[in-house]
Amino acid sequence: MRVTLDTEVSSLMSNKRRASALKSLGVVTVRDALEYFPFRVTPAVRVGSIADIRVGEKVAFPAIVQRFAVYPMSRGGSRALVTVADSALPGVRRGGTATLVFFSYKRHYIDWLHGRLQEGALIVVSGDASEYNGAVQFTHPQVMVVEHHDSSALIPDMPVSPSSRSSASAPHADAPSVEAALARVSRPQPVYHASSRISSQHIHDAILAILQMLNMQGAQDGAVHDATASVAAQSATQSASARDAAESIAPPEPTIVDPARIAAQIPDIVPDDLRQERGLMHRAEAFCAIHNPSTPEEFAQGIATLRYEEAFVSQTAMLRERADSHTHRAYPCASPEVEGGAAHTTPSSPAGASTPTAPAGLLHAYIGSLPFELTQGQKDVIAQITDDMSHDWPMQRLVQGEVGSGKTVVAIAAMLRAVECGHQAVLIAPTQVLAEQHYESIRRQVGGLPEAEGLPIMLLTGGLKLAQRRKVLATAASGESCIVVATHAAFSKSFQAPNLALVVIDEQHRFGVDQRQALFEGDGPVPHMLVMTATPIPRTAAMTWFGNLDISWLTELPGGRKPITSVVVNEADSSTMGQMFVHIRKRLDEDERAYVVCARIDEDDADSFDEGYDAAPVAPEADLDGDGVPDDAQPAPPLHSVEQMSQRLAALPQFRGVAFVTLTGRDDDETKHDVMERFSSGQVQVLVATTVIEVGVDVPQATNIVIFDAEHYGLSQLHQLRGRVGRGGMKSWAFFVTRAAEGSLGAERLEVIRSSTDGAEIARADLELRGAGDVLGDVQSGKRSSLKLLRVVADADVIEQARADAQAVIEKDPTLRGNVQLAGAVLDFMRSTEADAA
């Protein structure tokens, strides 16, 4: 059977249980196995003789079994004591004796050990040295039985005489020679995320077996071509220092896998000249260095090579996608010329649609009607957008802005440019609450302008009555110039807008790629796309996930905004908790409002968050078995719920006479609308909710927000929630209530949010502490969630270098016809990205 990267692992393994366990980890094909990277590597183990062993160190040594004895234990089971010595081995100037100890309640295990460790057997031992009754002892060490008594390389620098060789065979051999056994147990060992079904060691064994199969196949094929010979030459040069270091620790190991033999089956993706310029390994060599490293330095070099490759492929894909967008046709929305009070419409109205009269000067009138001066950032971004929309290819722009930086004004300006040119515009929000707020805001700010007379401004949500829904759908389908504010309903096939010139997507990470693409299907012009996000994204992260978009940054806050005071409150501190409630009551008495945010909806919920929750993942070092739970985890107290907290707060004397209301993701659309109306109008003063209020909720009178179990949220989400207050020019407060212990990771994360209001700084900390998938919503982001090694904060330099290199390659070879492997990797990357978002 010929093995390729697409061969299924199950077809290569006789142990079907192990194959099934690998499949549960996402390892289905040979490619999956090679790309299942270890998260760390153990240090190399020193090789020595027994007399040189120091208690407390991990060491490997050869020895001969002198005695095997079994003793019963008082509470059942057996204890096997194996006495080994190396004084009979040639070259050992000062021999020694050690004891290997094994405990077991299973008799067949002791019998199995006895069958392997017979008196006179030559073995190699690796383990942590301890001391018992003045003697060196190893408890459950790793033991390899050597096939032949070939002591030619038992100890480094050992003088060997022909008489010292023996041809005695071991009945249960693990290695053909002492040299091979020592190399196996002393070399660094990769550590993989494992599970209760399969250990890290068994994962390593399976991947090594696959590499050996590829190696044997390469040898049979005689696949050492000129290209792969250059790999071997480069390998010899680049790895010389690593091998020198290895030889000072252990004897050289016979080649298990030759990168030159498997290079034809694992072809390089990075162009040869670029790889050599950057000092990288060949791809095949990098896989060997990661899964079977001789030294930690070699492992690090392999990781660095594939990390760069991942950055290079992703940036090439982004730049190709960006270039491809210019090949599509869009409605050009240039500033309309005004003659006799009416604007000329573009000549590209859809067939069969009535030609509307565009409202002249609407954008200029809207900006002039605002009760505040636009920030310079808003002016610059609006200028960028209007310039983009004047072209006959689709705009693809991301506007990233701090909470409250005025993104909505920018979005309205873009939509008005589309409708004043005689076209249609759609704004899509992730929730009905946010869609309704956008609709009311646009209707209030635009609908009253004389220039907007007769301009339909419509709301499309799943909660509309049938007659209203039909009216909105009919207006959109007619091609009439209009503005539609919608939720996911805009992605349905029933929504047709043949004159659609602009799509604005608010909080894009709440939508998948397939949903966004549904708006751009069809034979007509492709709409301009404006994506908005308040989730702070560091520059390199934006380059990685949104490198196909032009990016605008809104960093200034509109005038009149006051800084929000952030306070971390330990829930066990009853005095501070009481002071917090007294403070909130005083603000309520001044006709202000307060939010209270809880993780769960009610007591019947499992301890998981309502929609929008981003939990901090378990650090790999704390979760060596890979089950997602820290190995030293203790049962955690239940998280607070909306139901419980609303009842508890209403019963406090500080809130006597205060009206409370709740809002969760389970509420229907009508209830959500009613709740927000009552809260905004002041009928109720405290809103107890889940994170459904995280995005876009705008109540100017809200000046206080209390977030319970704050240590369980992502920093960017806490920053978003904090942005729900301080929107009306009044001094505001955010209280982060926590049960995290002082000095813990949770407390450290809350200190970041307490001490900073800089969204970029918070985002960097969030990415470092949690990872990009958690911060940006992984699958929902629809963007590059399949990255395996690239770290968008720590690898900023790598990403920027890779982008520059990708740009240079594309300038020389726009279609990548001369870089076939790179073109295939780019295509695979884009497919995996879309699959992740589906």
pLDDT computed for residue 485 by the predictor: 95
CA 495 to chain CA centroid, nearest Å: 33
Range of lowest pLDDT (375-379, 427-431, 470-474, 539-543)? 539-543
> Could you tell me if residue 325 is inside a domain?
no
Q: Give the integer Cα–Cα distance in Å for 292 and 244.
A: 17
* Whether the Cβ atoms of residue 347 and residue 392 lie closer than 8 Å to each other: no
Report pLDDT for 129: 94
pLDDT at position 126 is 93
Task: Report the distance separating Cα 576 and Cα 559, nearest Å.
Answer: 33
Would you say residue 669 has pLDDT above 70? yes
In a domain, 739, yes or no: yes
Please check the confidence at residue 510 and state whether its pLDDT lies above 70. no
Alpha-carbon span 175 to 143, nearest angstrom: 11
pLDDT of residue 162: 36
In this structure, the answer to whether residues 421 and 496 fall within a common structural domain is yes
More confident residue, 553 or 519: 553
Query: Residue 157: is its pLDDT beyond 50?
Result: no
Q: Which of 596, 602, 726 is nearest to 654 (CA)?
A: 596
**Do 819 and 718 share a structural domain?**
no
Select, from the ranges 315-329, 500-514, 763-777, the one with the highest average predicted confidence (pLDDT).
Answer: 315-329
Mode of pairing for the β-strands spanning 142-145 and 122-128: antiparallel
* pLDDT confidence of residue 87: 84
Q: Answer whether residue 143 shows pLDDT above 70.
A: yes
Is the pLDDT assigned to residue 338 strictly greater than 60? no
User: Is the pLDDT at 535 greater than 90, yes or no?
Assistant: no
Q: Are 397 and 529 in contact (CB under 8 A)?
A: yes
Tell me which residue of 676, 707, 681, 699 sits closest to 609, measured CA to CA: 707
- The answer to whether residue 641 sits within a structural domain is yes
Q: Are 153 and 207 part of one and the same domain? A: no
749 lies in some domain: yes
- Whether 368 and 438 map to the same domain: the answer is yes
- Summarised one tens digit per residue, pLDDT across range 119-141 is 999 999 999 999 998 889 999 99
pLDDT at 826 over 70: yes
Q: pLDDT tier at 244 (50, 70, 90 boundaries)?
A: very low
**Domain finish residue from 165, 186, 207:** 186
Same structural domain for residues 142 and 19?
no
Q: 632 lies in a domain?
A: no
Distance of alpha carbon 526 from alpha carbon 325, whole angstroms:
9
> Could you give phi then psi for residue 185, rounded to 5 degrees?
-85, -20
Together in a domain, 31 and 140: no
Average pLDDT, the chain: 81
Dihedral of the CA atoms 46, 52, 53, 59 (nearest 10)? Answer: 20
Q: What is the CATH number of the domain that holds 512?
A: 3.40.50.300
The predicted model gives 254-269 an average pLDDT of 82
Looking at residue 106, which CATH number applies to its domain? 2.40.50.140
Q: How high is the pLDDT of residue 242?
A: 38
Would you place residue 573 in the very low, low, confident or very high pLDDT band (cuts 50, 70, 90)? very high
Q: Are residues 168 and 225 in the same domain?
A: no
Residue 487 has pLDDT above 80, yes or no: yes
457-460 and 483-486 beta bridge pairing: parallel
Is residue 133 domain-shared with residue 214, that is, in the same domain? no
The pLDDT of residue 287 is above 60 = yes
Q: Which residue has the tokens 């006051």?
A: 562
Give the start-end residues of each E strand in 669-775.
686-689, 702-707, 732-738
DSSP run (H or E) holding 666 = none
Instruction: Please enumerate in sequence order all residues whose Cβ is within 8 A of that of 657, keeping only pairs 6 or more positions apart, or say none.
Output: none
The CA–CA distances, whole Å, from 248 to 47, 186, 187, 603 equal: 10, 12, 12, 61
The CA dihedral of 409, 412, 417, 418, to the nearest 10 degrees, is 160
SS3 content of the chain, % helix, strand, coil (to 5): 40, 15, 40
Residue 776 has pLDDT above 50, yes or no: no
Nearest CA among 837, 713, 838, 690 for reference residue 775: 713
Choose between 169 and 616: higher pLDDT.
Answer: 169
- Are 554 and 381 spatial neighbours (Cβ–Cβ below 8 Å)? yes
Neighbours of 387 (CB within 10 A): 11
What does residue 506 show for φ and ψ, rounded to 5 degrees? -90, 135
411 shares a domain with 540: yes
Q: Which domain holds residue 658?
A: 564-621+637-756
Distance, in Å, from the CA atom of 838 to the CA atom of 834, rounded to the nearest integer, reads 6
Coil/strand/helix, residue 715: helix
Strand duo 135-139 + 97-104: pairing:
parallel
With respect to residue 408, please indicate whether it lies within any of the assigned structural domains.
yes
Other beta carbons within 10 Å of 579? 14
Pair 246, 375 in one domain = no
Residue 299 lies in a domain: no
> What does the alpha-carbon distance between residue 462 and residue 410 come to, in Å, rounded to a whole number?
26
Least confident segment among 158-162, 292-296, 335-339, 401-405: 158-162
Tell whether 626 is covered by a domain.
no
Question: Among 50-59, 167-176, 318-327, 531-540, which is the least confidently predicted range?
Answer: 167-176
What mean pLDDT do residues 544-552 have? 77
User: Do residues 405 and 546 both lie within one domain?
Assistant: yes
Overall number of domains in the chain: 5
The letter for the amino acid at 89 is L
34 with 87, same domain: the answer is no
- pLDDT given for residue 744 in this prediction: 85
Q: Which of 38-52, 101-115, 487-501 has the lowest mean pLDDT?
A: 487-501
Domain end point (choices 507, 528, 554): 554
Give the domain-ending residue among 554, 575, 606.
554
